[in-house]
Protein backbone atom coordinates (compact mmCIF):
# COMPACT_ATOMS: atom_id res chain seq x y z
CA UNK A 1 0.00 0.00 0.00
CA UNK A 2 2.92 2.33 0.62
CA UNK A 3 4.92 3.86 -2.19
CA UNK A 4 8.50 2.76 -2.59
CA UNK A 5 10.50 3.87 -5.62
CA UNK A 6 14.11 3.70 -4.50
CA UNK A 7 14.89 1.16 -7.20
CA UNK A 8 14.21 3.88 -9.75
CA UNK A 9 15.62 6.97 -8.07
CA UNK A 10 19.34 7.74 -7.96
CA UNK A 11 21.18 7.36 -4.66
CA UNK A 12 21.21 10.57 -2.62
CA UNK A 13 24.94 11.21 -2.89
CA UNK A 14 26.67 14.52 -3.24
CA UNK A 15 24.87 17.79 -3.83
CA UNK A 16 21.10 17.54 -3.91
CA UNK A 17 18.75 20.02 -5.52
CA UNK A 18 17.11 22.58 -3.27
CA UNK A 19 13.77 20.87 -3.86
CA UNK A 20 15.21 17.53 -2.72
CA UNK A 21 16.65 19.10 0.40
CA UNK A 22 13.42 20.88 1.30
CA UNK A 23 11.33 17.79 0.60
CA UNK A 24 13.52 15.53 2.68
CA UNK A 25 13.36 17.95 5.62
CA UNK A 26 9.76 19.15 5.54
CA UNK A 27 7.41 17.22 3.23
CA UNK A 28 5.41 14.31 4.68
CA UNK A 29 4.04 12.38 1.73
CA UNK A 30 0.81 10.40 1.92
CA UNK A 31 0.75 6.60 2.04
CA UNK A 32 4.52 6.64 1.72
CA UNK A 33 7.32 4.90 3.55
CA UNK A 34 9.39 7.99 4.13
CA UNK A 35 12.38 5.91 5.17
CA UNK A 36 12.63 4.62 1.61
CA UNK A 37 14.12 7.96 0.61
CA UNK A 38 16.84 8.21 3.25
CA UNK A 39 19.41 7.14 0.67
CA UNK A 40 17.55 7.87 -2.56
CA UNK A 41 16.05 10.87 -4.28
CA UNK A 42 12.34 11.53 -4.01
CA UNK A 43 10.58 11.49 -7.38
CA UNK A 44 9.65 15.15 -7.93
CA UNK A 45 7.22 15.84 -10.78
CA UNK A 46 7.47 19.41 -12.05
CA UNK A 47 5.48 19.59 -15.29
CA UNK A 48 2.68 17.87 -17.20
CA UNK A 49 1.53 17.82 -20.81
CA UNK A 50 -1.26 15.63 -22.16
CA UNK A 51 -0.64 12.05 -21.04
CA UNK A 52 2.90 12.81 -19.85
CA UNK A 53 4.64 14.32 -16.84
CA UNK A 54 8.27 15.36 -16.33
CA UNK A 55 10.50 15.15 -13.27
CA UNK A 56 12.98 17.74 -12.00
CA UNK A 57 15.70 16.23 -14.22
CA UNK A 58 13.57 16.61 -17.35
CA UNK A 59 12.82 12.90 -17.72
CA UNK A 60 9.42 12.16 -19.30
CA UNK A 61 6.94 9.62 -17.93
CA UNK A 62 3.69 8.30 -19.36
CA UNK A 63 1.12 8.92 -16.64
CA UNK A 64 -0.66 5.60 -16.82
CA UNK A 65 -2.57 6.27 -13.60
CA UNK A 66 -3.91 9.78 -14.32
CA UNK A 67 -1.90 10.81 -11.23
CA UNK A 68 -4.34 8.92 -8.98
CA UNK A 69 -7.31 8.08 -11.25
CA UNK A 70 -8.15 11.77 -11.48
CA UNK A 71 -6.45 13.84 -14.23
CA UNK A 72 -9.12 12.67 -16.66
CA UNK A 73 -8.78 15.46 -19.24
CA UNK A 74 -4.98 15.20 -19.22
CA UNK A 75 -2.20 17.46 -18.06
CA UNK A 76 -1.43 20.99 -19.19
CA UNK A 77 -5.00 22.22 -19.74
CA UNK A 78 -4.27 25.92 -19.31
CA UNK A 79 -7.93 26.83 -19.78
CA UNK A 80 -8.75 25.14 -16.46
CA UNK A 81 -6.25 27.32 -14.65
CA UNK A 82 -7.57 30.34 -16.55
CA UNK A 83 -11.11 29.54 -15.39
CA UNK A 84 -9.90 29.66 -11.78
CA UNK A 85 -8.01 32.91 -12.38
CA UNK A 86 -11.00 34.55 -14.03
CA UNK A 87 -13.24 33.51 -11.14
CA UNK A 88 -10.76 34.85 -8.59
CA UNK A 89 -11.06 38.30 -10.14
CA UNK A 90 -14.83 38.23 -9.68
CA UNK A 91 -15.32 36.28 -6.43
CA UNK A 92 -12.36 34.42 -4.95
CA UNK A 93 -14.35 32.79 -2.20
CA UNK A 94 -17.61 32.72 -0.36
CA UNK A 95 -18.95 29.86 1.69
CA UNK A 96 -22.01 27.73 0.97
CA UNK A 97 -23.04 27.90 4.63
CA UNK A 98 -26.40 29.70 4.30
CA UNK A 99 -25.20 31.50 1.16
CA UNK A 100 -25.04 30.59 -2.50
CA UNK A 101 -22.89 31.86 -5.34
CA UNK A 102 -23.36 31.53 -9.11
CA UNK A 103 -20.67 28.94 -9.85
CA UNK A 104 -21.92 26.46 -7.24
CA UNK A 105 -25.49 26.91 -8.46
CA UNK A 106 -24.60 26.43 -12.12
CA UNK A 107 -22.37 23.43 -11.41
CA UNK A 108 -24.99 21.73 -9.21
CA UNK A 109 -27.58 22.12 -11.96
CA UNK A 110 -25.17 20.79 -14.59
CA UNK A 111 -24.24 17.75 -12.50
CA UNK A 112 -27.90 17.03 -11.79
CA UNK A 113 -28.65 17.13 -15.52
CA UNK A 114 -25.90 14.57 -16.19
CA UNK A 115 -26.73 12.27 -13.26
CA UNK A 116 -29.19 9.40 -13.69
CA UNK A 117 -32.84 9.46 -12.64
CA UNK A 118 -33.94 11.79 -9.88
CA UNK A 119 -30.49 12.46 -8.42
CA UNK A 120 -31.11 16.19 -8.44
CA UNK A 121 -29.46 17.57 -5.28
CA UNK A 122 -25.72 18.20 -5.08
CA UNK A 123 -23.94 18.60 -1.74
CA UNK A 124 -20.37 19.71 -2.39
CA UNK A 125 -17.28 18.49 -0.53
CA UNK A 126 -13.53 18.90 -1.03
CA UNK A 127 -12.51 15.28 -1.62
CA UNK A 128 -13.67 11.73 -2.10
CA UNK A 129 -13.24 10.78 1.56
CA UNK A 130 -15.33 13.79 2.54
CA UNK A 131 -17.98 12.79 0.02
CA UNK A 132 -18.19 9.29 1.47
CA UNK A 133 -18.19 10.64 5.03
CA UNK A 134 -21.01 13.01 4.11
CA UNK A 135 -23.04 10.29 2.43
CA UNK A 136 -22.77 7.97 5.42
CA UNK A 137 -23.88 10.76 7.77
CA UNK A 138 -26.69 11.69 5.41
CA UNK A 139 -27.99 8.12 5.39
CA UNK A 140 -28.03 7.96 9.19
CA UNK A 141 -29.72 11.35 9.40
CA UNK A 142 -32.30 10.38 6.77
CA UNK A 143 -33.37 7.30 8.71
CA UNK A 144 -33.45 9.19 12.01
CA UNK A 145 -35.76 11.82 10.54
CA UNK A 146 -38.10 9.00 9.51
CA UNK A 147 -38.20 7.62 13.03
CA UNK A 148 -35.62 4.87 12.40
CA UNK A 149 -32.65 6.19 14.32
CA UNK A 150 -31.47 2.67 15.09
CA UNK A 151 -30.34 2.30 11.46
CA UNK A 152 -26.61 3.05 11.76
CA UNK A 153 -24.85 0.07 10.18
CA UNK A 154 -23.33 0.14 6.73
CA UNK A 155 -22.47 -2.75 4.46
CA UNK A 156 -19.45 -2.56 2.18
CA UNK A 157 -17.26 -5.11 0.43
CA UNK A 158 -14.07 -6.81 1.47
CA UNK A 159 -10.85 -5.14 0.26
CA UNK A 160 -12.84 -2.11 -0.96
CA UNK A 161 -11.36 1.34 -0.37
CA UNK A 162 -13.81 4.12 0.49
CA UNK A 163 -11.55 6.72 2.10
CA UNK A 164 -9.51 7.46 5.20
CA UNK A 165 -11.64 9.69 7.41
CA UNK A 166 -12.90 7.78 10.46
CA UNK A 167 -16.40 7.25 9.10
CA UNK A 168 -15.24 6.34 5.61
CA UNK A 169 -12.61 4.06 7.13
CA UNK A 170 -15.37 2.00 8.72
CA UNK A 171 -16.55 1.29 5.17
CA UNK A 172 -13.06 0.57 3.85
CA UNK A 173 -12.48 -3.18 3.86
CA UNK A 174 -8.67 -3.29 3.94
CA UNK A 175 -7.39 -4.50 7.33
CA UNK A 176 -3.99 -2.85 6.93
CA UNK A 177 -5.61 0.57 6.64
CA UNK A 178 -8.07 0.03 9.47
CA UNK A 179 -6.02 -1.61 12.21
CA UNK A 180 -3.71 1.34 13.06
CA UNK A 181 -6.72 3.53 13.87
CA UNK A 182 -9.05 1.21 15.73
CA UNK A 183 -11.52 1.43 17.35
CA UNK A 184 -13.33 2.78 14.32
CA UNK A 185 -16.71 4.42 13.97
CA UNK A 186 -19.13 1.58 14.81
CA UNK A 187 -21.37 -0.07 12.27
CA UNK A 188 -19.07 -1.18 9.45
CA UNK A 189 -19.96 -4.63 8.08
CA UNK A 190 -18.32 -6.34 5.12
CA UNK A 191 -19.36 -8.91 2.53
CA UNK A 192 -17.53 -10.66 -0.33
CA UNK A 193 -16.61 -8.66 -3.43
CA UNK A 194 -17.17 -9.67 -7.06
CA UNK A 195 -13.71 -11.07 -7.79
CA UNK A 196 -14.55 -14.06 -9.98
CA UNK A 197 -11.02 -15.03 -11.05
CA UNK A 198 -10.83 -18.04 -8.73
CA UNK A 199 -14.57 -18.68 -8.41
CA UNK A 200 -15.88 -22.22 -8.95
CA UNK A 201 -17.46 -22.70 -12.37
CA UNK A 202 -20.77 -23.79 -10.86
CA UNK A 203 -21.19 -20.87 -8.46
CA UNK A 204 -24.24 -18.66 -8.92
CA UNK A 205 -22.87 -15.47 -10.53
CA UNK A 206 -25.07 -13.37 -8.23
CA UNK A 207 -23.94 -15.05 -5.03
CA UNK A 208 -22.03 -11.92 -3.93
CA UNK A 209 -25.20 -9.84 -4.29
CA UNK A 210 -27.16 -12.38 -2.26
CA UNK A 211 -24.45 -12.22 0.41
CA UNK A 212 -25.49 -8.61 0.98
CA UNK A 213 -29.02 -9.68 1.83
CA UNK A 214 -27.70 -12.43 4.09
CA UNK A 215 -25.67 -9.85 6.00
CA UNK A 216 -28.63 -7.46 6.25
CA UNK A 217 -30.74 -10.25 7.73
CA UNK A 218 -27.94 -11.29 10.07
CA UNK A 219 -27.48 -7.74 11.38
CA UNK A 220 -31.20 -7.08 11.49
CA UNK A 221 -32.70 -4.96 8.68
CA UNK A 222 -33.96 -2.42 11.19
CA UNK A 223 -30.32 -1.61 12.10
CA UNK A 224 -28.88 -1.23 8.58
CA UNK A 225 -28.60 2.25 7.10
CA UNK A 226 -26.91 1.78 3.74
CA UNK A 227 -24.98 -0.36 1.31
CA UNK A 228 -21.95 1.33 -0.31
CA UNK A 229 -20.42 -0.14 -3.48
CA UNK A 230 -18.16 1.04 -6.28
CA UNK A 231 -19.40 0.26 -9.82
CA UNK A 232 -15.96 -1.29 -10.44
CA UNK A 233 -14.11 -1.98 -7.21
CA UNK A 234 -10.69 -0.34 -7.22
CA UNK A 235 -8.75 -2.05 -4.42
CA UNK A 236 -7.94 -5.63 -5.29
CA UNK A 237 -7.68 -4.73 -8.95
CA UNK A 238 -10.73 -3.49 -10.87
CA UNK A 239 -13.39 -6.05 -9.91
CA UNK A 240 -16.29 -5.71 -12.34
CA UNK A 241 -19.86 -6.73 -11.46
CA UNK A 242 -21.47 -9.78 -13.09
CA UNK A 243 -24.57 -9.14 -15.18
CA UNK A 244 -27.53 -8.39 -12.95
CA UNK A 245 -25.49 -7.77 -9.81
CA UNK A 246 -26.53 -4.19 -9.19
CA UNK A 247 -30.11 -4.86 -10.18
CA UNK A 248 -30.24 -7.61 -7.52
CA UNK A 249 -28.62 -5.30 -4.95
CA UNK A 250 -31.19 -2.60 -5.74
CA UNK A 251 -34.01 -5.09 -5.14
CA UNK A 252 -32.45 -6.17 -1.84
CA UNK A 253 -32.04 -2.60 -0.62
CA UNK A 254 -35.62 -1.73 -1.53
CA UNK A 255 -36.94 -4.84 0.19
CA UNK A 256 -35.28 -3.91 3.47
CA UNK A 257 -35.53 -0.11 3.39
CA UNK A 258 -31.76 0.32 3.00
CA UNK A 259 -30.20 3.15 0.99
CA UNK A 260 -27.78 2.35 -1.84
CA UNK A 261 -24.66 4.51 -2.26
CA UNK A 262 -22.75 4.27 -5.54
CA UNK A 263 -19.20 5.30 -4.62
CA UNK A 264 -17.95 6.83 -7.86
CA UNK A 265 -14.96 8.82 -6.66
CA UNK A 266 -13.02 6.98 -9.39
CA UNK A 267 -15.73 5.55 -11.64
CA UNK A 268 -17.47 8.80 -12.58
CA UNK A 269 -16.54 11.47 -15.14
CA UNK A 270 -15.74 9.20 -18.06
CA UNK A 271 -13.46 6.68 -16.43
CA UNK A 272 -15.80 3.86 -17.52
CA UNK A 273 -16.98 5.57 -20.70
CA UNK A 274 -20.04 7.25 -19.13
CA UNK A 275 -20.40 10.26 -16.88
CA UNK A 276 -21.35 7.87 -14.06
CA UNK A 277 -20.63 4.20 -13.49
CA UNK A 278 -24.26 3.63 -12.51
CA UNK A 279 -25.16 4.52 -16.09
CA UNK A 280 -22.67 2.01 -17.44
CA UNK A 281 -24.22 -0.79 -15.39
CA UNK A 282 -27.81 0.51 -15.58
CA UNK A 283 -28.80 0.83 -11.93
CA UNK A 284 -30.30 3.60 -9.85
CA UNK A 285 -28.60 4.44 -6.54
CA UNK A 286 -30.04 6.69 -3.85
CA UNK A 287 -26.75 8.57 -3.55
CA UNK A 288 -23.62 8.97 -5.68
CA UNK A 289 -20.31 10.03 -4.16
CA UNK A 290 -17.85 11.63 -6.55
CA UNK A 291 -14.61 13.64 -6.66
CA UNK A 292 -11.29 13.36 -8.60
CA UNK A 293 -12.30 13.72 -12.25
CA UNK A 294 -14.99 16.30 -11.53
CA UNK A 295 -12.27 18.94 -12.02
CA UNK A 296 -9.74 16.59 -13.64
CA UNK A 297 -7.93 17.24 -10.33
CA UNK A 298 -7.04 20.81 -11.28
CA UNK A 299 -8.77 21.90 -8.05
CA UNK A 300 -9.91 19.93 -4.99
CA UNK A 301 -13.61 19.11 -5.21
CA UNK A 302 -16.04 16.33 -4.42
CA UNK A 303 -19.78 15.94 -4.05
CA UNK A 304 -22.66 13.82 -2.85
CA UNK A 305 -25.44 13.65 -5.44
CA UNK A 306 -28.70 12.80 -3.69
CA UNK A 307 -32.02 11.53 -4.99
CA UNK A 308 -35.13 13.55 -4.38
CA UNK A 309 -36.34 10.78 -2.07
CA UNK A 310 -33.42 11.38 0.27
CA UNK A 311 -33.07 15.13 -0.13
CA UNK A 312 -36.76 15.93 0.32
CA UNK A 313 -36.52 14.98 3.99
CA UNK A 314 -34.33 18.05 4.53
CA UNK A 315 -36.08 20.62 2.34
CA UNK A 316 -39.03 21.80 4.44
CA UNK A 317 -39.68 23.63 7.69
CA UNK A 318 -36.87 23.60 10.23
CA UNK A 319 -35.19 20.47 8.87
CA UNK A 320 -31.44 20.72 8.27
CA UNK A 321 -28.53 18.46 7.41
CA UNK A 322 -26.19 19.67 10.15
CA UNK A 323 -22.97 18.99 8.29
CA UNK A 324 -20.61 20.92 6.03
CA UNK A 325 -17.10 22.07 5.09
CA UNK A 326 -15.87 25.64 4.88
CA UNK A 327 -14.41 25.35 1.39
CA UNK A 328 -16.93 22.94 -0.19
CA UNK A 329 -18.34 24.31 -3.42
CA UNK A 330 -15.49 26.83 -3.60
CA UNK A 331 -16.18 29.31 -6.43
CA UNK A 332 -12.80 28.76 -8.07
CA UNK A 333 -13.06 24.97 -7.88
CA UNK A 334 -16.60 25.14 -9.28
CA UNK A 335 -15.38 27.31 -12.14
CA UNK A 336 -12.69 24.76 -12.91
CA UNK A 337 -15.27 21.96 -12.85
CA UNK A 338 -17.48 23.87 -15.28
CA UNK A 339 -14.56 24.40 -17.65
CA UNK A 340 -13.60 20.73 -17.28
CA UNK A 341 -17.09 19.65 -18.30
CA UNK A 342 -16.86 21.99 -21.29
CA UNK A 343 -13.80 20.00 -22.39
CA UNK A 344 -15.66 16.72 -21.87
CA UNK A 345 -18.49 17.90 -24.09
CA UNK A 346 -16.35 19.58 -26.74
CA UNK A 347 -13.99 16.61 -27.14
CA UNK A 348 -16.53 13.88 -26.29
CA UNK A 349 -14.14 12.23 -23.85
CA UNK A 350 -16.73 9.68 -22.75
CA UNK A 351 -17.24 8.69 -26.37
CA UNK A 352 -13.47 8.45 -26.87
CA UNK A 353 -13.20 6.01 -23.97
CA UNK A 354 -16.01 3.89 -25.38
CA UNK A 355 -14.40 3.92 -28.83
CA UNK A 356 -10.94 3.01 -27.54
CA UNK A 357 -11.80 0.64 -24.69
CA UNK A 358 -11.61 -2.48 -26.86
CA UNK A 359 -8.19 -1.49 -28.22
CA UNK A 360 -6.83 -0.68 -24.77
CA UNK A 361 -8.18 -3.89 -23.28
CA UNK A 362 -6.99 -5.93 -26.25
CA UNK A 363 -3.45 -4.68 -25.70
CA UNK A 364 -3.59 -5.72 -22.05
CA UNK A 365 -5.16 -9.10 -22.90
CA UNK A 366 -2.18 -9.69 -25.19
CA UNK A 367 0.00 -9.75 -22.08
CA UNK A 368 -1.65 -13.01 -21.01
CA UNK A 369 1.04 -14.76 -23.04
CA UNK A 370 3.52 -13.78 -20.32
CA UNK A 371 3.68 -16.51 -17.65
CA UNK A 372 3.37 -14.02 -14.78
CA UNK A 373 0.02 -12.64 -16.01
CA UNK A 374 -2.94 -14.48 -14.53
CA UNK A 375 -5.93 -12.25 -15.17
CA UNK A 376 -6.83 -9.02 -16.93
CA UNK A 377 -10.01 -7.24 -15.82
CA UNK A 378 -11.70 -3.87 -15.63
CA UNK A 379 -13.82 -1.51 -17.70
CA UNK A 380 -13.21 1.60 -19.76
CA UNK A 381 -9.87 3.22 -18.99
CA UNK A 382 -9.75 1.44 -15.62
CA UNK A 383 -7.97 -1.89 -15.96
CA UNK A 384 -5.84 -4.25 -13.88
CA UNK A 385 -3.47 -7.15 -14.43
CA UNK A 386 -3.25 -9.78 -11.70
CA UNK A 387 0.15 -11.43 -11.29
CA UNK A 388 0.52 -15.10 -10.43
CA UNK A 389 3.21 -17.71 -9.88
CA UNK A 390 1.35 -20.31 -11.95
CA UNK A 391 -1.21 -19.55 -14.66
CA UNK A 392 -2.72 -23.02 -14.58
CA UNK A 393 -3.28 -23.26 -10.83
CA UNK A 394 -3.70 -19.47 -10.37
CA UNK A 395 -1.32 -19.68 -7.42
CA UNK A 396 -0.64 -16.22 -6.01
CA UNK A 397 2.41 -14.82 -4.27
CA UNK A 398 3.02 -14.88 -0.53
CA UNK A 399 3.18 -11.63 1.42
CA UNK A 400 6.97 -11.80 1.43
CA UNK A 401 7.09 -12.47 -2.30
CA UNK A 402 4.67 -9.61 -2.98
CA UNK A 403 6.84 -7.27 -0.96
CA UNK A 404 9.92 -8.30 -2.89
CA UNK A 405 8.23 -8.34 -6.28
CA UNK A 406 5.99 -5.27 -6.09
CA UNK A 407 7.92 -2.87 -3.92
CA UNK A 408 11.39 -4.30 -4.29
CA UNK A 409 11.28 -4.40 -8.07
CA UNK A 410 8.10 -3.64 -10.04
CA UNK A 411 7.19 -0.18 -8.76
CA UNK A 412 10.69 1.14 -9.29
CA UNK A 413 11.30 -0.64 -12.57
CA UNK A 414 8.10 0.63 -14.17
CA UNK A 415 8.99 4.15 -13.10
CA UNK A 416 12.57 3.76 -14.35
CA UNK A 417 11.21 2.69 -17.75
CA UNK A 418 9.06 5.80 -17.90
CA UNK A 419 5.63 4.46 -16.92
CA UNK A 420 3.67 5.60 -13.88
CA UNK A 421 1.08 3.02 -12.84
CA UNK A 422 0.19 1.20 -9.63
CA UNK A 423 1.72 -2.06 -8.45
CA UNK A 424 -0.57 -2.95 -5.58
CA UNK A 425 -1.11 -5.81 -3.14
CA UNK A 426 -4.33 -4.81 -1.43
CA UNK A 427 -5.64 -8.29 -2.12
CA UNK A 428 -3.64 -10.29 -4.65
CA UNK A 429 -0.76 -8.58 -6.50
CA UNK A 430 -1.95 -6.43 -9.40
CA UNK A 431 -0.72 -3.75 -11.75
CA UNK A 432 -3.36 -1.09 -12.42
CA UNK A 433 -3.63 1.11 -15.49
CA UNK A 434 -5.86 4.17 -15.61
CA UNK A 435 -4.52 6.64 -18.19
CA UNK A 436 -5.99 10.06 -18.96
CA UNK A 437 -9.13 9.79 -21.06
CA UNK A 438 -7.30 11.37 -24.01
CA UNK A 439 -4.91 8.40 -24.29
CA UNK A 440 -4.82 6.76 -27.72
CA UNK A 441 -3.02 4.08 -29.73
CA UNK A 442 0.45 5.57 -29.33
CA UNK A 443 0.12 5.60 -25.54
CA UNK A 444 -1.28 2.06 -25.52
CA UNK A 445 1.73 0.86 -27.52
CA UNK A 446 4.11 2.54 -25.09
CA UNK A 447 2.33 0.98 -22.10
CA UNK A 448 2.54 -2.42 -23.79
CA UNK A 449 6.25 -2.04 -24.49
CA UNK A 450 7.11 -1.09 -20.91
CA UNK A 451 4.89 -3.72 -19.32
CA UNK A 452 6.30 -6.49 -21.50
CA UNK A 453 9.86 -5.53 -20.63
CA UNK A 454 9.31 -5.16 -16.90
CA UNK A 455 6.98 -8.13 -16.42
CA UNK A 456 9.37 -10.39 -18.35
CA UNK A 457 12.18 -9.37 -16.02
CA UNK A 458 9.86 -9.81 -13.03
CA UNK A 459 9.16 -13.38 -14.10
CA UNK A 460 12.87 -14.07 -14.52
CA UNK A 461 13.32 -12.90 -10.94
CA UNK A 462 10.53 -15.22 -9.79
CA UNK A 463 12.25 -18.15 -11.53
CA UNK A 464 15.62 -17.25 -10.00
CA UNK A 465 14.00 -16.91 -6.58
CA UNK A 466 12.63 -20.44 -6.92
CA UNK A 467 15.92 -21.89 -8.14
CA UNK A 468 18.83 -19.58 -7.30
CA UNK A 469 21.46 -21.89 -8.83
463 Ramachandran zone, left/alpha/beta (phi>0; psi -120 to 50) = alpha
pLDDT score, position 405: 82
pLDDT score, position 2: 44
Between 468 and 353, the more confident residue is 353
Q: Is the pLDDT of residue 139 over 70?
A: yes
Q: Is the pLDDT of residue 464 over 90?
A: no
Distance, CA of 444 to CA of 437 (rounded, Å): 12
pLDDT score, position 40: 83
At residue 5 the predicted structure's pLDDT band, cuts being 50, 70 and 90, is low
At residue 462 the predicted structure's pLDDT band, cuts being 50, 70 and 90, is confident
Distance, CA of 299 to CA of 280 (rounded, Å): 26
Going along the chain from its start, the domains and CATH numbers come out as: 18-76+348-466 (3.90.1150.10), 78-347 (3.40.640.10)
At residue 6 the predicted structure's pLDDT band, cuts being 50, 70 and 90, is very low
154 Ramachandran zone, left/alpha/beta (phi>0; psi -120 to 50) = beta
Please give the mean pLDDT across all residues of the chain: 94
Q: What is the mean pLDDT of residues 425-429?
A: 84
Sign of CA dihedral 36, 38, 40, 46: positive
User: In sequence order, what DSSP letters do the residues of 111-171 get, joined into one string?
Assistant: HHHHSSTTEEEEEEESSHHHHHHHHHHHHHHHHHHTT-TT--EEEEETT----SSHHHHHH
pLDDT score, position 12: 56
Q: Is the pLDDT of residue 149 over 60?
A: yes
Distance, CA of 72 to CA of 129 (rounded, Å): 19
C-beta of residue 363 within 8 angstroms of C-beta of residue 256: no
Number of other CB atoms surrounding residue 83 within 10 Å: 25
Q: Is the pLDDT of residue 1 over 90?
A: no
Beta-carbon contacts of 215 under 8 Å, excluding residues fewer than 6 positions away, are 155, 189, 191
CA distances from 227 to 187, 199, 309 (A): 12, 23, 16
Distance, CA of 140 to CA of 96 (rounded, Å): 22
158-215 tens-digit pLDDT: 999 999 999 999 999 999 999 999 999 999 999 999 999 999 989 999 999 999 999 9
pLDDT score, position 35: 87
Q: What is the mean pLDDT of residues 38-65?
A: 95
Number of other CB atoms surrounding residue 13 within 10 Å: 9
C-beta of residue 233 within 8 angstroms of C-beta of residue 160: yes
pLDDT score, position 37: 86
Nearest to 247 by CA among 256, 260, 232: 260
pLDDT score, position 399: 85
Q: Is the pLDDT of residue 9 over 70?
A: no
Q: What number of CA atoms fall less than 13 Å from residue 14's CA on the CB side?
A: 2
Amino acid sequence: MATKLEAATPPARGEQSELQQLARRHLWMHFTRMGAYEDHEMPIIVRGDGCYVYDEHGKRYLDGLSALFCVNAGHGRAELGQAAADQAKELGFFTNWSYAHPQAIKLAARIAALAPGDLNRVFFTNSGSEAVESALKLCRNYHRMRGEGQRYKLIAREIAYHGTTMGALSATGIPGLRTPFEPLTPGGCHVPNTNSYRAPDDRDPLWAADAIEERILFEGPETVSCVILEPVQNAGGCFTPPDGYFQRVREICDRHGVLLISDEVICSWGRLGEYFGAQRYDYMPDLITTAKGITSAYAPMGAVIASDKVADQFMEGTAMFTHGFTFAGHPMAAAVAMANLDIFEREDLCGHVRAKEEEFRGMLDGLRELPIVGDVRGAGFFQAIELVKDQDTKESFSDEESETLLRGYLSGALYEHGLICRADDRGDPVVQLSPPLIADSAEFEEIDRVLRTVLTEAWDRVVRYRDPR
